[in-house]
Amino acid sequence: MVRYFVLSFLLIECIFSISCVHRKHSDANLFENKTVGLKLTKPTSWHFLTVKSHLTSLEQIKLKDKKLQQAMIQKSTLPLVIIAKYKEPYNQLNPTLKVVVRSLHGMDASKPVKMVNAILPTLKKSFMDFKIKTSPKEVEVGGQKAAYVHLRHKLNTKKGDTYLVSSEMWFIPKGNSVFMIGVGMEVGDKTDTRKDIQSIIESIDFI
């Protein structure tokens, strides 16, 4: 069960701009999916991404755990939505927010912090220089009980590039599902990226 969630976690953790399915709306900055009951708003300068680069981007990632990397590619689930700061193609690390929704599969919805703690050992084995900057803690997102963790690690690509990444994760159980939000940006980003990300998180509404 833990390995199942690690795969989903890695999909939102790997910050390459991969896929999303953006439902068109009269407000170009609004994402709304009534099927799963989620609504959020992006900053005007950010971009919703398309589905076509999903598998290609996954294949660019180079994890320490080769078996987990192969499973990540073969068992990938399309994120519900992906929002990037820059248009693709972008030849550097593109600050990105992704949302994945999965079934709880019997996990305790009342203990989201426990969910995050359960997968951290596997994540540590997957990334170089893995550090926990903020330990998993209980927070609230969109009026729902959630867990938050802030990580830092190196991300290697098959092209030989290495990035030092600041990653933030939110696990939000709701009903029989869990919404997993992953944010990735390069350490040392001196723009308003973090402020923009916070605005997206604060805009989240479960409908």
At 27-73, the pLDDT tens digits run: 899 999 999 999 999 999 999 987 665 455 656 767 767 766 666 65
Q: Compute the average pLDDT of residues 127-139.
A: 96
Q: Which of the residue ranges 43-47, 119-123, 132-136, 168-172 would you say has the lowest mean pLDDT?
A: 119-123
pLDDT at 74: 59
The DSSP line for 133-159 is EEEEEEEEETTEEEEEEEEEEEEEETT
Collapsing DSSP to helix, strand or coil, 176 comes out as: coil
Report cis status (omega within 30 of 0) of the bond before 89: yes
Give the containing element (helix H, strand E) for 57: helix 54-60
Of 69 and 83, the structure prediction assigns the larger pLDDT to 83
- Name the fold adopted by 2-206: Protein Transport Mog1p; Chain A (3.40.1000)
**What pLDDT band is residue 159 in, cutting at 50, 70 and 90?**
confident
pLDDT at residue number 174: 95
Crossing angle (nearest 10°) for helices 2-13 and 112-126: 70
Give every CB contact of residue 84 below 8 A, 6+ residues apart in sequence: 17, 46, 47, 49, 90, 94, 95, 96, 97
Mean pLDDT along residues 168-186: 94
Least confident of 31-35, 77-81, 122-126, 152-156: 77-81
- In this prediction, residues 90-98 reach a mean pLDDT of 86
Please list, in sequence order, all residues whose beta carbon lies within 8 angstroms of the beta carbon of residue 54, skipping any fewer than 6 positions away. Answer: 18, 19, 76, 78
Cα–Cα separations (whole angstroms), residue 145 to 27, 100, 135, 173: 28, 17, 16, 7
157 in Cβ contact with 141 (< 8 Å): no
More confident residue, 136 or 59: 136
pLDDT-above-90 percentage for the chain = 51
4 — pLDDT class (breaks 50, 70, 90): very low
Mean pLDDT of 7-31: 58
How far CA 100 is from CA of 82, 85, 91, 160, 162, in Å, comes to 9, 18, 25, 28, 25
